[in-house]
Structure 1
Amino acid sequence: MYVVLLTYTAPLAEIDYVLPDHAEWLGRQFEHGNVLASGRRADHRGEVLLVRPMSEGKLEATLATDPLLLRHLAHHEIVEFAATRTGPELRAFNEALAH
């Protein structure tokens, strides 16, 4: 599983202009089951995505299609982790239970 930290690198006015396209992209990622949760960071410097387990190559390719990244308005940091404790809603992604 991954936590993806998006950090805006442009003024919020530029970010706001692209947010509808980003929201559409994000909606497709939810429909495909790639993203499990998302939200704007409390300091409004970016966003956080919780992403299902997949190859890092697939994740990088998926992120490369995000309009914020395509337009160089944000950069991302990927934090990979193995979910070993989860709430019931995320039990299907608990890697400790998969074995």
Structure 2
Amino acid sequence: MFIVLLRYDAPLEQIDYALPDHRAWVEKQYEAGLFIASGRQRPRTGGVILTRPMPRGKLDALLATDPWVVQKLVKCEVIEFEATRTAAEVVMLNEAVLTT
């Protein structure tokens, strides 16, 4: 699994201007079953995305299509981790991914 930290690298006015495109991109990833959770950081310095397990190369290619990344409005930090303990819902998500 991955945690993606998006750090704003542009003024909030530019971030907000591109927000509808970013939200549409995020929605596509949920529809594709790739994201588990996402949202703003507090204070508003960036965002966080929790992904389902996938190859790192696939994630990197996916992030490169985010309108915020394309427009160089954010920097991404990717943290890969192996969950050793999870809520039952997350275990079911992992098993579903491993069987597809």
Q: Please indicate, yes or no, whether the TM-score normalized by the shorter chain is above 0.5.
A: yes
Q: Does residue 67 of structure 1 match 2:67?
A: yes
Q: Structure 2 counterpart of 1:83, which letter?
A: A
Residue correspondences, number: 96
Cα RMSD (Å) of the superposition? 1.4
CA drift of 1:92 comes to: 2.1
Alpha-carbon distance between aligned partners in 1 of 2:29 and 2:22, rounded to the nearest angstrom: 11
Alpha-carbon distance between aligned partners in 2 of 1:67 and 1:74, rounded to the nearest angstrom: 10
CA drift of 1:93 comes to: 4.1
Aligned to 2:86: 86
Aligned to 2:24: 24
Q: Structure 2 counterpart of 1:4, which letter?
A: V
Gaps of at least 5 residues in structure 1 are none
Alpha-carbon distance between aligned partners in 1 of 2:10 and 2:24, rounded to the nearest angstrom: 20
Runs of 4+ in 1 over 6 A off after TM superposition: none
CA drift of 1:94 comes to: 5.1
TM-score for both structures, normalised by structure 2: 0.91
Taking every aligned residue pair, what percent have the same amino acid on both sides? Answer: 51
Paired residue secondary structure (2:59): helix
* Contact persistence 2:52–2:94 (CA under 8 A): no
TM-score for both structures, normalised by structure 1: 0.92
Structure with greater helix share of residues: 2
